[in-house]
Structure 1
Amino acid sequence: MVTAGAPCDLSVIVPVYNAAATLERVAGEVLALQADGLRCQVIFVDDASGDGSAGVADALADRHPEVLVLRHEANRGAGVARMTGWPHVTGRYALFFDADDILHGDVLRLTVERMEAHPEVDTAMLAYRYERGGRNTGIEMSYSDTQVYRGLLAAGSPAIGTPGEMGALLMVTNYPWNKVIRVAHFREVGLRFGTTHVNNDIRGHWEMIVKARRIMLSDEVICTHLVDPEGQNITNRFGAERLQMLDALGDLYGLLERDPDLRRREAHRFWGLAHRLYLWARERLEPEVVPRFDAGWAALIGRIDLGDYTELRVRHAPELADALANHLLGPQGS
């Protein structure tokens, strides 16, 4: 047993917004790892919940010295909540988890053991499983994510590679909870999630990959992601708040603009991801939001580096280059 502020092996940071019903389960899943000798810290960051989540978290902290509770006075989004928790991490490894998902503790423990054996690995990325509408659908990952994993794991799982070798991972869904990171390394190089309410995990996802010295990829499932198609969470909202998706993408592109080598290497993946998200969101938007969304998308495309656009057209994805030009100039663009 450790106290929440004492050095430990693993810290799990959990943004909390109206998740009173699941906090005890999540804390229990993490703290159960201590039976195997893994010293753990749980950091709950209450993001101005209105359902009594703060009281549940406080009660857990009273019973378990390993639990730390932080809180926001106003709702600021999961990305900001994660960054609120980050300075309080005392573990050698960290996982950013969600309050309403199911943690596969055996895989988490094994991942920490593997990272201990491979000190050059700063990020371990695992698989996930979906459960939709309260029933297990048997879907382990999205089709596109599965294809990326299979390509990178063709020689076996787990696989270790550089960010350049593992660059295809930048295109998978930007979930935060399928990656375990080495805290000392990311304290040194920096780590930041976005500040938007939607798509705030894009920035953190990319940084955990491009700033790592080595990445370990495994097809073992670390999380069951619970999806409620009728729920009121941000994922299911497509009003004006979805405009923030373009702010999140613009923030990420700023990271590439400040690092020309990274931009030259990965700009084609950024624009592929951005275009995919644009199409996904646009077909779901409330009609009155579409004109502003299209204008924001055109403004983002207007930032593209001409050399990177040429590379996109000539080497990587000419059809995507045409699509970006058409958005900016109309069908006559080239």
Structure 2
Amino acid sequence: MAKISIVIPAYNIASLIGQTLESVVRNKADMDIIVVDDASTDNTCEVVEQYMQVHQNIRLLRSETNTGPGVARNRALALVDSEYCLFHDADDLLGEDAVNTVLPLMDSTGVDVAAFRYSVLRTADEIPGEMPPVDKNIWDGVLGDRESAIVELDEAAQFLVTINYPWNKIIRTSFIRSTNWQFSTARINEDILPHWAAYMNAGRFLAINTSLTTHRLVPGREQHTNTFDERRLEMFKALEDTEKLFAENRIFRAKYYPVFVIFKAGLLEWVNRQIRQDLRSLFREYASYSYRHFTDEDFDRVYRINPGIALGSYRTKHSHR
């Protein structure tokens, strides 16, 4: 049994996955690397197989049909038997010391979830830059100049509204099993559900104030981040899957639902500005329906935090009645 499994969903990423695998295997740790090919039509599998010939700890799962990254990750997760798990993306770069930095700290502290800073590479020939301000400001505000810290979610709930990336977190596999933690099957924003589930179920987590992975925003390549056609509407399934966490757990709803409403409002505003013009009416109809769980009590609680978002959420809820 490996110490950690690195799960990598892949789809038509032949030009980049070799660099990604190179970055992963540079971590000299006891790793099980699982690549799930999501029915690629290019030579992604051939590239992975070349690396498998050199690195015995890489295995490849092939899907007959394209199901999206959430389903691909869940498929691999069912096979994981390591102590820890990291869900990496096929076009990102893992830091050389990432695994050996995080795992000893998780071992010594006994935490189930560890999160770390990341960098962003926006062009192929530049030096990676800082993460977006929404995340940087939260990390700076909570961690300051500390190298790492155990963070209590009740004291730093703003971490819930950091961008819901899965690849800057390492999670204990037994915690995943015990909390029925998984990705949404939505093709867009499938990582909202595990982001909120990880933090809320853990209640406390290790925050490492060092960038240990690089997110590549590749110019000219279609990525879910910049998809604003019909596929973006799947975000409402991802949001609904996350709403179920609050419906099933009164403590989560009492503590964190106003934060979720604020997060959702920001996400909807961002998408509304960019979604294709002919889809805006349908998008707004879906948005209105997504607020059916938003009660008068929720309005009051959000209003005390952010009156503008409370009023906007109320208007969105009643805009298609």
TM-score, normalised with respect to structure 2: 0.94
1:166 and 2:156 are equivalent in the alignment:
yes
Secondary structure of 2:89's counterpart equals coil
Q: What's 2:313 paired with? A: 324
- Equivalent pair of 1:47/1:74 in contact (CA under 8 Å): yes
1:24 and 2:18 are equivalent in the alignment:
yes
Tell me which amino acid in the other structure corresponds to 2:259: R
Q: 1:88 aligns with which of 63, 79, 87?
A: 79
Q: Structure 2 regions of 5+ residues with no counterpart?
A: none
In structure 1, how many angstroms separate the alpha carbons of the residues matched to 2:43 and 2:78? 25
Tell me which amino acid in the other structure corresponds to 1:325: Y
Q: Deviations over 1:105-143 (max 9, x none)?
A: 213311111111111x11110011111132436531111
Q: What's 2:47 paired with? A: 56
Q: What's 1:240 paired with? A: 230
1:71 and 2:62 are equivalent in the alignment:
yes
Tell me which amino acid in the other structure corresponds to 2:248: R
In structure 2, how many angstroms separate the alpha carbons of the residues matched to 1:284 and 1:264? 33
Tell me which amino acid in the other structure corresponds to 1:129: S
In structure 1, how many angstroms separate the alpha carbons of the residues matched to 2:22 and 2:125? 22
In structure 2, how many angstroms separate the alpha carbons of the residues matched to 1:220 and 1:201? 22
Q: What's 1:116 paired with? A: 107
- Runs of 4+ off more than 3 Å: none
1:251 and 2:245 are equivalent in the alignment:
no
Q: Deviations over 1:34-76 (max 9, x none)?
A: 3xxx211100000011111122223333432211111211111
Q: What's 1:4 paired with? A: none
Tell me which amino acid in the other structure corresponds to 2:42: D
**Shift of residue 269, structure 1, vs aligned partner:** 1.1
Secondary structure of 2:266's counterpart equals helix
Tell me which amino acid in the other structure corresponds to 2:121: E
1:15 and 2:9 are equivalent in the alignment:
yes
- Equivalent pair of 2:181/2:197 in contact (CA under 8 Å): yes
Q: 2:268 aligns with which of 256, 278, 289?
A: 278
1:209 and 2:199 are equivalent in the alignment:
yes
**Shift of residue 195, structure 1, vs aligned partner:** 0.9
Return 99-108 or 25-34, whichever deviates more. 25-34
- Equivalent pair of 1:41/1:90 in contact (CA under 8 Å): no
- Equivalent pair of 1:122/1:213 in contact (CA under 8 Å): no
Number of aligned residues:
320
In structure 1, how many angstroms separate the alpha carbons of the residues matched to 2:186 and 2:77? 17
Tell me which amino acid in the other structure corresponds to 1:65: Q
In structure 2, how many angstroms separate the alpha carbons of the residues matched to 1:228 and 1:60? 23
Secondary structure of 2:261's counterpart equals helix
Q: What's 1:43 paired with? A: 34
- Equivalent pair of 1:264/1:308 in contact (CA under 8 Å): no
**Shift of residue 155, structure 1, vs aligned partner:** 6.6
**Shift of residue 258, structure 1, vs aligned partner:** 1.1
**Shift of residue 285, structure 1, vs aligned partner:** 1.0
Tell me which amino acid in the other structure corresponds to 1:305: T
TM-score, normalised with respect to structure 1: 0.91
In structure 1, how many angstroms separate the alpha carbons of the residues matched to 2:49 and 2:223? 23
Return 217-226 or 299-308, whichever deviates more. 299-308
In structure 2, how many angstroms separate the alpha carbons of the residues matched to 1:73 and 1:187? 26
Q: What's 2:122 paired with? A: 132
Identity of aligned residues (%): 28
CA RMSD of aligned residues (A): 1.8
In structure 2, how many angstroms separate the alpha carbons of the residues matched to 1:19 and 1:107? 23
Q: What's 1:3 paired with? A: none
In structure 1, how many angstroms separate the alpha carbons of the residues matched to 2:145 and 2:51? 44
Secondary structure of 1:69's counterpart equals strand
